[in-house]
Structure 1
Amino acid sequence: MLTVSNYHYIREDYSAPYPSIFGVTPTAFKKQLKLFKNEGDLITPSEFLANYEELVVSKDNFFFITFDDGLKEQFDFALPILDELGMQAIFFANSMNTEEGRVSTVHKIHLLRSVIPSHLLLDYLKEQKIAMLTQEELQKATTNYRFDDTASAELKYLLNFKISFDVQELLVQSIFEKHFLESEILESLYMSKSQLQYLANIDCLGSHTHTHYPLGLLREDKLIYELEHSKNYLEQLSGKAIQMIAYPYGTPEACTDLVAETAKKVGYLYGFTTKKGIIEKSQNKLLLNRFDCNDVVGGKNYKP
């Protein structure tokens, strides 16, 4: 049995005027890894690639650790803990941050929500004549973002799935530059090229696409670019094959059959969604289940 647990932020302090960035502390991360170790075996990315077929049908428990977004804090805090415990994880990074020197819009949103309440950001969007969510869409939003309050879930769904990317980036950027200096955020938030190279050299680097867009909403030409460009960039940067990808957002809207087919065509062997559940043998290898770390043993929402 193979269980994948996914992480994003890992830092000591999550305090903010309006808490919107959530994750685990290094202490909680270490504790959860030890719980995994008590219940089964943690596998490395190399072991995942080499033994996938055997792992998914085994009656034994196997755990695989993943991190999304290529954040510097993952390198600074998670990697030393993994090394200390003799474990490995795979770190999925976006290529835009190092190649173009830009902060991903999704992280601009996280940062803005930490200093501005969600209902004021929604008011701003209304002032810009942005259409609000239907009741059906609002229900989807609260399901997708079950850890957020209603206003935050509505805001995130609007920005991630409803507003066109060009409009979204203009709206977000116009507010972001009033509160943050992009060059400073870029330096503090994301792994450097040398850190990405280090992870690739120990076979722990994967792709999270180029710009962190929800792939299922893109035109096919842009979809191909997002998948192929990030793969090529990371391979050229590191000199190592990039064989696994984690799809941004990971929801059904972002992870369509076309996304999986395209990922396979450009050379990925495995792709990860955010659909909860253990990995089943019958699953498409490019649309694999993955738990949020809060939903597995040791997580705040875990129910045995």
Structure 2
Amino acid sequence: MKIVMYHYVRESVKNLPFFRYLSFSNFKKQLDFFEANFGLVSFEEFCRLKTEPDFISCLKNKILLSFDDGLKEHFSLVYPELLKRKALGIFFMPTAVLEEEKALCVHKIHYLLGHGGGGGKLLDLALKLVEPSMCESKNAYLFEDYYDLLDDEESVKNFKLLLNYNLKEEFKEEVLSALIKKCGLSEAQIYENYYLNHEELKIMSANQMLIGSHAHAHINFLNLNAKEEAKEVQKSFEILSFLNPTIRTFCYPYGEFSRNSRTILQNLGVDFAFVSLDEYKKDIDEEDLRLNPLTLSRYDCNAFKFGKASMG
């Protein structure tokens, strides 16, 4: 079984000329390609894997679809398309956006880049705001090559690296707020119509889509201690408890897990958890389900035909 990961699946947005996303048209073409060549995993088929890991042999090369970040287009565009095809989608929700009316830092970064284009100007602005003492030193080396495989220009990669990984968590909101203001944007403008809400999640869950946790505030677990990480995961499941899904699923923010992650997820009764690291890319077999159910590998959608990102 192949697990495929998506983020933005949308139509063009006029005020974001440099935003990177998979067009809805290409998404449908990719699903056609998957159905013709592999087949799509259904809700019933995936549920059987919880108690019958050997059933995966019947799924052969079928595709399991997963969607990160709880984005609005996952309800308006993706969900109806999956219903038509009787395919399962697992949607991973960062629950902070259900509790607070503000965008996550990771999405503010995407929005800034989508609005302003190349990262050169943004990087220059950010470097003027960031003091050396505001940056991580202990774990910074872990992320040095994180964006090497992306086809972004170097300034964009460095901007993402600085804001997502080098800047300490306690300074991210402050720096991003200053950048947003300097670019003539508002934080309310970014948050508006960006994320799924409670009612949309209820509808999707009632129609055999799985809603999983993407932690609470989408913080990289490698920058958290065990207590902080456990709080991030537990809080997210508490907020999502109104859904009571058949299977409890989790997706690591930024696709990365710590040495504490497995124990934390096991203690919270998580059945399956998903990563998105290059060194873990592989098809899933029975051995994975039995021995590594909390580090299941995913492919990015751009690894397949029609999966290349559009811009603007």
Same topology, TM > 0.5:
yes
Q: Counterpart of 1:6? A: 5
Matched, 1:75 2:75: yes
CA–CA distance in structure 2, aligned partners of residues 93 and 59 of structure 1: 26
Q: Counterpart of 1:223? A: 229
Matched, 1:187 2:185: no
Root-mean-square deviation over aligned CA pairs: 2.6
Matched, 1:88 2:88: yes
- SS of 1:41's partner is coil
Which consecutive residues of structure 1, in runs of 5 or more, have no partner in the other structure?
none
Q: Counterpart of 2:273? A: 271
1:87–1:210 distance in 2 versus 1, CA, 3 Å: same
Q: Counterpart of 2:262? A: 260
Shift of 1:152: 1.0
Q: Counterpart of 1:126? A: 127
1:287–1:239 distance in 2 versus 1, CA, 3 Å: closer
Q: Counterpart of 2:295? A: 287
1:104–1:133 distance in 2 versus 1, CA, 3 Å: closer
- SS of 1:188's partner is coil
Q: 1:127-142 counterparts in 2 under 5 A? A: 127-131=128-132, 140-142=145-147
Shift of 1:57: 4.0
1:244 to 231, 236, 249: 249
Shift of 1:15: 5.8
Shift of 1:137: 6.8
Shift of 1:17: 6.3
CA–CA distance in structure 2, aligned partners of residues 157 and 64 of structure 1: 30
Q: 1:49-198 counterparts in 2 under 5 A? A: 49-51=47-49, 53-58=53-58, 60-116=60-116, 117-131=118-132, 140-143=145-148, 146-178=150-182, 179-198=184-203
1:18–1:185 distance in 2 versus 1, CA, 3 Å: closer
Corresponding letter in the other structure for 2:126? L
CA–CA distance in structure 2, aligned partners of residues 125 and 187 of structure 1: 24
1:130–1:57 distance in 2 versus 1, CA, 3 Å: farther
Shift of 1:36: 0.9
Identity of aligned residues (%): 27
1:190–1:138 distance in 2 versus 1, CA, 3 Å: closer
CA–CA distance in structure 2, aligned partners of residues 100 and 285 of structure 1: 31
Shift of 1:202: 2.7
Count of residues in correspondence between the two structures: 294
1:281–1:155 distance in 2 versus 1, CA, 3 Å: farther
Which consecutive residues of structure 2, in runs of 5 or more, have no partner in the other structure?
none
Q: Tell me, yes or no, if the aligned pair for 1:40 and 1:62 is still in contact at 8 Å.
A: yes
Shift of 1:158: 1.7
Q: Tell me, yes or no, if the aligned pair for 1:201 and 1:240 is still in contact at 8 Å.
A: no
Q: Does 1 or 2 have the higher relative contact order (CA < 8 Å, sep 6+)?
A: 2
The alignment's TM-score, normalised by the length of structure 2, stands at: 0.85
Moved more, 45-54 or 128-137: 128-137
Corresponding letter in the other structure for 2:170? D
CA–CA distance in structure 1, aligned partners of residues 31 and 251 of structure 2: 21
- SS of 1:175's partner is helix
CA–CA distance in structure 1, aligned partners of residues 92 and 81 of structure 2: 18
Moved more, 255-264 or 131-140: 131-140
